[in-house]
A and B are shown apart, each in its own frame.
Chain A
Amino acid sequence: MKLREIAELVEANFITGADQAEREVSRAFAADLLSDVLAMVQEEGVLLITGMTTPQVVRVAEVMNMGAVLFVRGKLPAAATVEYAMGTGIPLLATRRIMFETCGILYKAGLHAAQRKQMPLDHALPDATRS
């Protein structure tokens, strides 16, 4: 799905990278926990949907070669972070919608979920007590 379509669907604005509106993102991953992004996303070019606006979000997106970052809940990163993102070429978008709505709208419109890596606790039963 093109970033332009994503922006239209969730009424998001480009904070930076508007010139890359025609860029395609393959799939999306939504999280505030960057530990999970680092551990679970395995493909490149994935759209990161997050409410976290620290400088580390853009650096994680950069080292994982993600397609774009979409900030939810009306949150905006600091000016220094936006400036840094410009240098990396990773487009940043922002919507007022909450994460649940944002994901729902994009999923319904056909954006696929990112494939998640197998994790060490995957085989534990959901109700099993963690040691």
Chain B
Amino acid sequence: MPSRTPLVLRRIYPVAPRDLEQAGTVSTEVRRELLALGMSPDVVRRASVICFEGEMNIVLYSQGGRVILLVKEDRVELLFSDDGPGIADIELVSQPGYSTAPDWARELGFGAGLGINNMEQNSDLFEIRSRVGEGTVVRATILLGVPFF
């Protein structure tokens, strides 16, 4: 269900495919925004980790996309959307250890197959939708003021 609470902040960051020089910079920006808003260290840290994993996924696997940061009174939402190629079997790619990463991604220290699981672990609400040939959308939500276990 979309949240109807008032918006505090919205930022849209384009992410270029295969751009390894820039990969990770959106996450550092998101972290700075959340720190500037005075978010708790726990929320900043979880959002930053989610963002880094999502951003790397767009860089490594997609044909380009964007990260949208939405801060509302009661939640931080991170939306990742890309322009393809889409994921045929979301359950399969969410399994820890499963990876389709090419060698060049693994040589950079990524592609261990932990990313989606790690995003989910750090989120209170987590959702992936994908259509092969069109693209993938991930929404990760951190609820503020809710104890995280």
Q: Which residues in A have some Cβ–Cβ distance to B below 8 Å? A: 32-36, 38-39, 44, 52, 54-57, 59-60, 62-65, 80, 88, 117, 119-121, 130
Q: Which residues of B contact A34 (CB under 8 A)?
A: 108-110
B73-111 residues with Cβ-Cβ distance < 8 A to A are 96-97, 108-111
A-B contact pairs, 10 of them (CB 8 A): A35-B109, A38-B52, A39-B117, A44-B41, A55-B21, A56-B110, A59-B25, A64-B48, A119-B96, A120-B117
Cα-based distance from A64 to B52 in the complex (angstroms): 10
Give Cα distance in the complex from A33 to B110, angstroms.
Answer: 6
Known contacts A52-B109, A63-B48, A39 near B114 by CB under 8 Å: yes
Task: Provide the bound-state CA to CA distance between A64 and B48, in Å.
Answer: 7
Known interface pairs A63-B24, A80-B21; 13 further A-B residue pairs with C-beta atoms within 8 A, sorted by A's residue number: A34-B109, A35-B111, A35-B112, A35-B114, A39-B115, A39-B121, A54-B20, A54-B108, A56-B24, A59-B24, A64-B48, A120-B96, A121-B97
What CA separation (Å) do A85 and B63 show in the bound complex? Answer: 29
Residue B40 lies at the interface, judged by CB distance under 8 Å to chain A:
no
Of residues 9 through 65 on chain B, the ones whose CB sits less than 8 Å from some CB of chain A are 20-21, 23-25, 27-28, 31, 41, 45, 48-49, 51-53, 56
| Interchain CB contact under 8 A, A63 and B109 | no
Asked if A63 and B51 make an inter-chain contact with CB atoms under 8 angstroms apart, the answer reads: yes
Question: Is B117 a contact of A33 with CB atoms below 8 Å?
Answer: no
Total number of A-B contacts with CB less than 8 angstroms?
Answer: 80
Query: Are B31 and A62 in touch, CB under 8 angstroms?
Result: yes
Q: Are A59 and B112 in contact (CB under 8 A)?
A: no
Q: How far is the CB of A64 from chain B (nearest CB, A)?
A: 7
8 Å CB contact of A56 from B23, B45, B113, B117 = B23
Chain B residues in 8 Å Cβ range of A52: 108-109
In the complex, are the beta carbons of A59 and B52 less than 8 A apart? yes
How far does the alpha carbon of A32 sit from the alpha carbon of B107 in the complex, in Å?
Answer: 9
In the complex, what distance in Å separates the CA atom of A127 from the CA atom of B21?
Answer: 39
> A63, B114: Cβ atoms under 8 Å?
no
Residues of B within 8 A of A35 (CB): 109-115
Nearest CB to that of B99 among chain A residues? A35
Which residue from A55, A57, A63 sits with its C-beta under 8 Å from B31? A63
